Amino acid sequence: MSFTTAQIPDLSGRSVLITGGNSGLGLATAHALYARNANITIACRSPQKGQDAVRAIKEKTLTSTGSVELLNLDLSSVKSTVEAAEEYTRNHDKLDILFANAGIAMEPYQLSVDGYERQFATNHLGHFAFITTLLPLLQRTAAAKPEGDVRVIITSSEAHRFTYKVNNGIDFSAMRGEKRKPDVDPTSIWELGDAFRRYGQSKLANILFTRELSRRLKSSHPNIYVNAIHPGAVATGLTSGGSAFIGPTLTKITNFLMGFLASSAEKGALTQLWAATSEEIVARDYRGEYFIPVAKMGKTTEEAKNEELMRELWKWSEGAVEGVVGKRVGGHVHCSRRKYLRIPDRHRIPLWA
Ligand SMILES: NC(=O)c1ccc[n+]([C@@H]2O[C@H](COP(=O)([O-])OP(=O)(O)OC[C@H]3O[C@@H](n4cnc5c(N)ncnc54)[C@H](OP(=O)(O)O)[C@@H]3O)[C@@H](O)[C@H]2O)c1
């Protein structure tokens, strides 16, 4: 299927939130949707980089009637993530399109501020906390437009195929560094394979979470469409963490080759733009699916279809978030009693189901 940004409909009045919207695929996504008059929020961890991106987005499409704003978000910290989602919810009355796009890859082994392996913490756990905290807003948005729809797009990767052989691909028993030998240098070249598997594990979690969230929303909020995508091999700064393993010379060679072999961020963003805006998603009732470039149905591993693992991941993630913020986030939990009562039962989902 061919898809170009020219096929994106006018998005005047639509609220769009993009994690990692300050660079690479997220920035290309923001450019394309702002050009179609959407009101964009880019959520990122560096205020300076964020402000530069906001300026660049506005300058590129001077004719847009949309808006661009910033939200501070550090996905590697559950607390920061929940606070960012709460701030967004306080300041916006709706959220039409949410891109869980930010990510890190190939980083030397490190624990997050909450004590979880950092790639998993950033790519999966942070997005789990962010999206579940935003769920009441997404649900309200969906309930307010029975004829329209709400989209959540989670950026995964073909790398979901390369993960651990333990527990169907997600090694919960190693998330806090339980299996690390203390004397191993995390930047040793021999650790590169593990870095890739840790990335693959987090990207497998992206698909499992997509499918479980989609399943939970299907009966209560059928007009919320949650899908995952792989953008292709794209020349961005994503693998810059890998230079710690291979040094500056090999990094330069790799970047040079990527420049030839990989596609541009603009092209790489097409599949997520399609999943966010195409009428085909609704017409064909695509939910919990995995798409590859450009706008094609992709095949996942059997692990990514494992429903038991989906539930286990949800439960583990819920526990991890609760362990940090001391409460269960999302659903009706955050709403005051008045707000809670305003949402009819059929518009709430039991997150613990
Ligand atoms: N590029 C590829 O070939 C490829 C292939 C498959 C999948 N993907 C996926 O595509 C997504 C986007 O990656 P990209 O290629 O566009 O790479 P990128 O240019 O490096 O963008 C990654 C974005 O994530 C943000 N980010 C990283 N850690 C964060 C944190 N703790 N809190 C908040 N934001 C954080 C980065 O912000 P900073 O600028 O502050 O670092 C940046 O905006 C990722 O999920 C990646 O796994 C990419």
Express each pLDDT in 90-117 by its tens digit.
999 999 999 999 999 989 999 999 999 9
What Rg do the C-alpha atoms of the chain give, in angstroms? Answer: 19
- 280-308 pLDDT, tens digit each: 999 999 999 999 999 999 999 999 999 99
**Average pLDDT score over the chain:** 91
- Index of the ligand 1 atom closest to the CA of residue 232: 5
- Per DSSP, the chain holds a count of helices (H) and strands (E) of 12, 8
Please give the pLDDT value at position 241: 72
- pLDDT surpasses 80 at 330: no
| Ligand 1, atom 7, residue with closest C-alpha | 157
Q: Which helix (H) or strand (E) holds 260?
A: helix 243-261
Bridge-based pairing of strands 224-229 and 290-292 is: parallel
Residue among 64, 156, 220, 278 flagged as catalytic: 156
| Ligand 1, atom 24, residue with closest C-alpha | 102
- pLDDT surpasses 90 at 30: yes
CA of 312 to the centre of ligand 1 (A): 26
Residue among 34, 88, 116, 199 flagged as catalytic: 199
Please give the pLDDT value at position 331: 60
CA of 102 to the centre of ligand 1 (A): 4
| Between residues 294 and 334, the one the model is more confident about | 294
- pLDDT surpasses 90 at 344: no
Ligand 1 pocket at CB < 6 A: 19-20, 22-26, 44-46, 49, 73-76, 101-105, 122, 155, 157, 230-231, 233-234, 236-238
> Can you tell me whether residue 306 is helix, strand or coil?
coil
What phi, psi does 142 have (nearest 5°)? -65, -40
- 245-292 pLDDT, tens digit each: 888 887 877 777 777 789 999 999 999 999 999 999 999 999 999 999
- pLDDT surpasses 80 at 342: no
Mean pLDDT for the stretch of residues 34-59: 97
CA of 26 to the centre of ligand 1 (A): 8
- pLDDT surpasses 80 at 347: no
Active site residue 315: no
H-state helical runs in 92-173: 118-120, 126-144
Active site residue 199: yes
Active site residue 156: yes
11-347 CATH choice from 3.40.50.720, 3.40.50.620, 2.30.30.90, 3.40.50.450: 3.40.50.720
CA of 335 to the centre of ligand 1 (A): 31
- Index of the ligand 1 atom closest to the CA of residue 100: 45
Edge-to-edge strands, sheet with 67-72 = 67-72, 39-44, 15-19, 97-100, 150-155, 224-229, 290-292, 296-297
- Amino acid at the residue 99: F
- 183-224 pLDDT, tens digit each: 888 988 888 899 999 999 999 999 999 999 999 999 999 999
Q: Which of 230, 109, 244 is nearest to 177 (CA)?
A: 109
